[in-house]
Every structure is written in structure tokens, then in C-alpha cells.
Amino acid sequence: MNQDTGKENIKIYKGHIVYTESPEKFNVQENGYIIVENNKVTLANSSIPEKYSHISVIDFGDKLIIPGFVDLHLHAPQFPNRGLGLDKELLPWLEEYTFPEEAKYSDMDYAKKVYSRVVEDLWRNGTTRSVVFASIHNESTSLLFDLFVESGLGAYVGKVNMDRNCPDILIEDTQQSIKDTREYIENHIGKSEIVKPIITPRFVPTCTVELMKELGKMAKEFNVPIQSHLSENTNEIKWVKELHPEHKDYASVYDCYGLFGQNPTIMAHCIHNTEEEVALMKDNEVFVAHCPYSNLNLSSGIMPVRYFLDKGINVGLGSDVSGGNKIAIFDVMAISAQISKIKWLETNKELAPLTTSEVFYLGTKGGGKFFGKVGSFEEGYEFDALVIDDSNLFGEGLTIEERIQRFIYTGDDRNIVERYVAGNKIEKPSFK
């Protein structure tokens, strides 16, 4: 990672600048300039104000400059399982593939091998910020946290909590789970400006009431955010109802124990929510991580993204590795647009398909909101950026918007030639 330590920290970048201030349209500055002061965007414009005329320009020529991608939901220990067991539904898949893999992360050598590759692949595919589940193991979760810090990428990293309904090798003693989580947060809070801890109950079926209560209290005490899963699969929802008949719905269980927007919260999937749950999400400003690859692979369904957007819910994109088989957010953007067309047909053309600008927004500013002013080139936003060289993709005479669409659908990591996080140029991680 390269950092500027001089007194005057001003950089000017030139290229075809593309971002989405709102989902409805792209903001484009063809042959434009981005002025970055103290690692934050001051101006994205077609010209340079006179007061900056003494600053040399970093010129990327005909390349595209876009915000870095944001992944709101992935499971780092599941990385070796990508592409495995995807002919199963969620609950059998957890039992047969996921839980046995996650049990391996008491082995620090194995954890280092896998987690180094996870962080490298996120870098390679232009994911500059991510929200990550680790495993129940404190030591290897701390390792993952430190690898993110070393890489220069931004992340929330969570130690998973599970004290019921999981294999013996993964089930935690309730008090030990609480103690370990507290220790993890105390050891990592304030350690980095862009890598932070997050409270992570796996989901309601694997967490007792006592554990959920204490995690909710801990989130409030330390003022840290929360991540979990909600209404991914119909059998999962039925199971939650059997476990908690005292609550009217799945979201109400989390809400009762301070895990549903009392602190900033991400819920992954949200495919089968009731109107009451969606209203509660709106009231509590809960974020949704839309994970289309996983939802298709595990026969969970298609999230009605348009419905959530129309209700004013914050929505971002998640790779959900390894239920999702692709880690690149530009791939997630493409499949999000594609399956929204199927949802449009399923709803008698009521829920309009997502446009290219909308899925781009979800994968940048939409998810970036969870990190603050991230995911756009508006004034005051942290300069997270990718430089895209799409010269190897066929097609001439295209507009900038068409070039972005072409990259989303046909590009790959080789088109990403530079990466910046919070104003710093990020080189390929090289872990010792």
C-alpha cells in the first residue's frame, strides 16, 4: 500500500469518470478530472480550477475511472467450497458442505492459506470494501482481520456465533461464545480506520435467546454494527417459526434482542419477507445484501429487489461465497439485472427489471453507504476507485455508459489496472 505523508496531500486523476449519485442514471465526465484532497473527493469535473493548476495530473487516457466495488455479504471460510454442493437446498448444504469446512479453521496454517487467497481474490476483482463472516474461531478470525489491514482493503470482519443446532465440532458454549466475541471486539476495535469488527450471529436457528440478547447488548455497548441472514429459504423460515412461536415473524426475533437496526445492520437475502418485516426494516434502516448467485444455486428464490427499492430500503450486493460461486461484484451486477427480468415476468410485469445504472449503484454507492461516504465520487466521499482498461473488449464508437455495461457483462479482473482505497493506491497483497 502506498500512502502520501507530505503536508499537501492533493492528487488529480484524469480519465472517463463514471459513478452513480442516484440509481436512476450514470454520472459521466468524459475526459474529466477527479481532485482528491486528504484522500477524499473534492471535485469531479470537466476542468481543473485555477487554484489546483500547480498539481501534476495522473492521466489514465481513454480508461474508465469508477468507484470501487462493495460486497455486503461473503463467508471467507467457505471459499474452498465454491462450486460444491450447489444441487442442494440451503439447510442440507449447510450440513453436508459448509459446517465441515468451517470446522477446519481452528488450524491456523489452513486458515492462513485460505484467507490470504480470499483477500487476494477480492483485490484482484476490484472489491475495495467487504462485509465478511469468518468462523467461530477467535484466533483465525483475528488473522483474517489482520490480513485485511495489511492488504489496505476495507472490511467489516465478524466472529461467527453458534450455540445450538449445528455439529458438535462447531457448537459453542453460550458463555464462551459471548466471552470470545467480547475479547475479539476489544482487541480489534479502533485498530484500523477501514477494517473493523462486526457482531455476527449466524442466524436465528443457531443462536439461543441468551446468546442473541448478549450480542445485542454488546453491539450497543461497543457501538459496532451487526450482520446476519433473514428469510433466505422457505424451510428456514418454517424452522424459525417452530423455534420461536412467540414471535410473529423472523425479523421480530432479531428485533426483540437488539439485532435489527438498533445498530447499523445488514441482513442477507430477504427473499420471502412479509410486508410487516419490510416496514420494520424501513423504520430501523436495515440494509439488505442481495445475493443472487447463492439464491439461485440453493433454490432459495429471487429477491424482489424492485419492491425493496420502491419502499426506500437500503440495498447492496453480496457475492455470498460459497453459496454464491462468483466473488466478483461485476458478475453479481450482471446476474442481478438478469434475474430481475424473470421476477418482472413472475409478477405480471409489476416489478420492473433493474437497469444497468441501478445494479452499478447497488454494487458501489448502495452498499458503500454502510461504510459511510463510500462508493461515489461526490464531494466528501472517500476515494475508493478502480481504473478500467476495456480496450481488449470488442466494439467501437460506444458511449461511456455502453462501455460500462459491456465491462459488467463481458469484462473480468484483467480489465482492472489500478485500485485505490481511501485515497491510497493498493498493490497486490503479498503476505509473508
44 and 86 inside one domain = no
CA distance 382 to 41: 6
74 and 57 inside one domain = no
74 and 130 inside one domain = yes
Helix (H) or strand (E) run with residue 145 in it:
helix 138-151
172 and 254 inside one domain = yes
Tally helices (H) and strands (E) across the chain.
15, 17
- Dihedral sign computed on CA atoms, order 365, 369, 375, 380: positive
Tell me whether residue 101 is in a domain. Answer: yes
35 and 172 inside one domain = no
Tell me whether residue 432 is in a domain. Answer: no
CB-CB contact of 293 with 328 (8 Å):
no
Counting the structural domains of the chain, the total is: 2
| pLDDT at residue 262, rounded to an integer | 97
Tell me whether residue 21 is in a domain. Answer: yes
The SS3 assignment for 41 reads strand
| pLDDT at residue 47, rounded to an integer | 95
Query: Tens of pLDDT along the chain (432 residues)?
Result: 444 444 469 999 999 999 999 999 999 999 999 999 999 999 999 999 999 999 999 999 999 999 999 999 999 999 999 999 999 999 999 999 999 999 999 999 999 999 999 999 999 999 999 999 999 999 999 999 999 999 999 999 999 999 999 999 999 999 999 999 999 999 999 999 999 999 999 999 999 999 999 999 999 999 999 999 999 999 999 999 999 999 999 999 999 999 999 999 999 999 999 999 999 999 999 999 999 999 999 999 999 999 999 999 999 999 999 999 999 999 999 999 999 999 999 999 999 999 999 999 999 999 999 999 999 999 999 999 999 999 999 888 999 999 999 999 999 999 999 999 999 999 999 987
Sorted by sequence, the CB contacts under 8 Å of residue 238 that are 6+ apart come out as none
Tally of CA atoms within 13 A in the half-sphere of 357 that contains its CB? 13
Containing structural domain, residue 403 = 10-67+376-425
Tell me whether residue 1 is in a domain. Answer: no
Tell me whether residue 430 is in a domain. Answer: no
Sorted by sequence, the CB contacts under 8 Å of residue 308 that are 6+ apart come out as 270, 278, 288, 315
| pLDDT at residue 75, rounded to an integer | 98
| pLDDT at residue 5, rounded to an integer | 41
Domain CATH for 385: 2.30.40.10
218 and 161 inside one domain = yes
CB-CB contact of 122 with 130 (8 Å):
yes
The SS3 assignment for 120 reads helix
Domain boundary among 352, 371, 390: 371
95 and 49 inside one domain = no
270 and 400 inside one domain = no
381 and 318 inside one domain = no
32 and 141 inside one domain = no
415 and 348 inside one domain = no
| pLDDT at residue 396, rounded to an integer | 86
| pLDDT at residue 4, rounded to an integer | 43
349 and 400 inside one domain = no
Tell me whether residue 205 is in a domain. Answer: yes
